[in-house]
Structure 1
Amino acid sequence: MTGTFTISLDFELLWGIFDKVGTRYHPEYFSNTRKVIPEMLDLYGKMGISVTWATVGMLFADNEEEWKSYSPEFLPSYRDKKLSAYAWAKAYGLRPEVHFAPELIHQILQTPGQDLGSHTYAHYYTLMRGQSPEQFRQDLQATQKIAREKFGVSLKSLVFPRNHINELYLGICLEEGYEFVRGNPKNWFWQETQHESFSKKLFRSADCFFPLGSRSSYAEHEIKEFTGEPLILPASRILRPLSKGNRLFNHIRLSRILAEMEYAAKNGEVYHLWWHPHNFGHDPKQSMLELKKLLFHFLTLQEKYGMESLSMEELGKRVKNRLIPA
């Protein structure tokens, strides 16, 4: 079996960090993000790279009126109100440059090999107190509705915001059309991400440079299908943002990813890399140069070992086909 290279991106703009930064964000950061995404798409299209864009549903809207029209009837009732995208919008208002991006979604759909997925409608936290299964269901329905009515697509791939995977909600995901869900890496410091600790953060950061856990890639047969649930496709590694001015940091971090990709290619395993497009906002030029290095390395592995580029949906469908008894 040949190795597989899968990329999934958490496309969210300000919706992904509003509860952390409030109004203290730099507009240039997201302006850079909006400019670099078409560059990324052009690169993926030319190089034949399949990518899943797990997109916050609110970005599909053109304006505040449309955003409201697709919002669910039952909004998430978090105990901690600052986690609610709706409460934030009511308090601070909406700005098109950081809250809406339908033109970028059109570009994603027009680029060969791209898989438009969901990051929930409102960057929904399924493990936070106060919210309910029915509120989550309506959030998923809102995203499917706006995707279907505005863009003519049904979304199959889902990424839980902040990697908060509520296993009790997996059945709801499948019922609402999501057949494939990105799982967390299997190491202990990636589990129960809603309960953060200094040790987890330390190990996650250090593991980007030195092997502290088990191998990051995995064989396809390790992916299991359970009745009534979507297929969980574990992540392998997050591509952390560049550190400006720290060439050694950046070199070691990228070298580790390239070595892991090569191991997966040689051993016929899956290597699932993910990041946020806005991670390129601080230094788009150098970030794109690094992405090109990474993708050219994939092309070398493709030529040498037959490694394939598959989106989450493509990988999931292949796994499902192999799970069906002959």
Structure 2
Amino acid sequence: MRGGVLVVSLDFELYWGMRDVVSLRRYADNLAGVQEAIPRLLSLFVDRGIHATWAAVGFLLCTDRNDLLASLPTKIPHYADETLSPYLGMHELDEIDQHDVYYFAPQLVRSILATPHQELGTHTFSHYYCLEEGPTLDDFREDLQAVVHIAERYHVRPVSLVFPRNQVSAAHLDIARDLGFVAYRGTEKSWPYRPKGGSDQSSVIRRLTRLLDAYVCLFGSQTYLPQHCEALPVNIPSSRFLRPYSRRLARLEPLRLHRISAQLTVAARENRVFHIWWHPHNFGVDLEKNLENVERIMDKYAELQAVYGMRSLNMGELAALAYR
């Protein structure tokens, strides 16, 4: 593809993606900030002509806890580590009723769908972990079927899939294909990005290496040539996770943005794909600083678009071009 392609995807989770990582009290500000972050991002994407995929956890498409309870699949996963299950104690969890803005976002979903070139993908129905001990393939099929069902009320059929914690296997991809998904976001090829289950996913060495790679070129541009695919779903790997602004590392922000700019430039110059992603809740705190960083990346994209003809495509659009 002449001029290369910029792909943007966002993992839209609210607290469903963080509940097994951090307490609601500690993360409330980030979650509350999503209500402003998403409209601001949508406005920026319209101004800059950005096509993006919003991979939403299916739970948050519901209106409230009662709606969610009525929408649950008949078969739910049972994790060996029960803390990973969002279903545990859901019937008695008053916290959901008291803070529903941290769990449900039907109006934000409608705003996304009303914005040109924005694709509603899925992050599974329940923020499902494919490589953890306990869940079965039948559980996963039920989970994705629940996604398809809940999306029908928004008159949309998700075709792009982002696996939580990037946990995926060939068997799970076969199920996704059977249910009509045409694209998924794989990981970078380098070793610290390869999907793992359990504590291996977040080992100190892997995390520190990924952090360092965000500032210094350890593993190259992580861009790739678009290729014709004979089978679905099409893998559209990540090139860069856009880390949120860090007050502690503020002096290193120019270095981090230069790293991304260099990756974008390689993609444009060599007709490759650069796929950047983040979570809206990453921007819930220090929103202005985070948006400023996105604007700088979009400025670079505009420059490369003018010089090389770089394009912006969401995951579904790129998959449609790759699978013909």
Tell whether the 8 Å contact from 1:31 to 1:97 is kept in structure 2 after alignment: yes
Structure 1 counterpart of 2:113: 109
Structure 2 counterpart of 1:137: 141
Tell whether the 8 Å contact from 1:180 to 1:233 is kept in structure 2 after alignment: yes
1:305-326 deviation per Cα after TM superposition (whole angstroms, max 9, x unaligned) = 10000000011111113xxxxx
- In the alignment, the residues of structure 1 paired with residue 281 and residue 230 of structure 2 have an alpha-carbon distance, to the nearest angstrom, of 33
Amino acid at match of 1:180: A
Structure 1 counterpart of 2:204: 198
Structure 1 counterpart of 2:45: 44
Structure 2 counterpart of 1:96: 100
- Deviation at 1:192? 2.9
SS of the residue 1:151 aligns to: coil
Give runs of aligned pairs for residues 1-326 of structure 1, distance below 5 A. Answer: 1-87=2-88, 89-90=90-91, 92-93=93-94, 94=96, 95-148=99-152, 150-194=153-197, 195-196=200-201, 197-221=203-227, 224-226=229-231, 229-244=232-247, 246-321=249-324
- In the alignment, the residues of structure 1 paired with residue 127 and residue 290 of structure 2 have an alpha-carbon distance, to the nearest angstrom, of 25
- In the alignment, the residues of structure 2 paired with residue 225 and residue 189 of structure 1 have an alpha-carbon distance, to the nearest angstrom, of 28
Count matched residues: 317
Amino acid at match of 2:76: L
- Deviation at 1:9? 0.4
- Deviation at 1:102? 0.2
1:132-154 deviation per Cα after TM superposition (whole angstroms, max 9, x unaligned) = 01111011011110101x10110
Tell whether the 8 Å contact from 1:243 to 1:249 is kept in structure 2 after alignment: no
- In the alignment, the residues of structure 1 paired with residue 92 and residue 241 of structure 2 have an alpha-carbon distance, to the nearest angstrom, of 32
- The structure-2 alpha-carbon separation of the partners of 1:285 and 1:88, relative to structure 1 and needing over 3 Å to count, comes to farther
Unaligned residue ranges in structure 2 (runs of 5+): none
- In the alignment, the residues of structure 2 paired with residue 124 and residue 131 of structure 1 have an alpha-carbon distance, to the nearest angstrom, of 9
1:3-61 deviation per Cα after TM superposition (whole angstroms, max 9, x unaligned) = 00000100001010101114443322211111111010011112210000000001100
- Deviation at 1:88? 5.4
Greater alpha carbon shift after TM alignment, 189-198 vs 103-112: 189-198
- In the alignment, the residues of structure 1 paired with residue 61 and residue 297 of structure 2 have an alpha-carbon distance, to the nearest angstrom, of 29
Tell whether the 8 Å contact from 2:82 to 2:88 is kept in structure 1 after alignment: yes
Tell whether the 8 Å contact from 1:147 to 1:153 is kept in structure 2 after alignment: yes
TM-score by length of 1: 0.94
CA RMSD, Structure 1 to Structure 2 (Å)? 1.4
Tell whether the 8 Å contact from 2:15 to 2:24 is kept in structure 1 after alignment: no
Amino acid at match of 1:220: P
Tell whether the 8 Å contact from 2:187 to 2:195 is kept in structure 1 after alignment: no
- Deviation at 1:224? 4.2
- Deviation at 1:245? 5.1
- In the alignment, the residues of structure 2 paired with residue 248 and residue 87 of structure 1 have an alpha-carbon distance, to the nearest angstrom, of 42
Amino acid at match of 1:297: K
SS of the residue 1:261 aligns to: helix
1:126-181 deviation per Cα after TM superposition (whole angstroms, max 9, x unaligned) = 00101001111011011110101x10110000000011112221110011121101
Unaligned residue ranges in structure 1 (runs of 5+): 322-326
- Aligned identity (percent) is 36
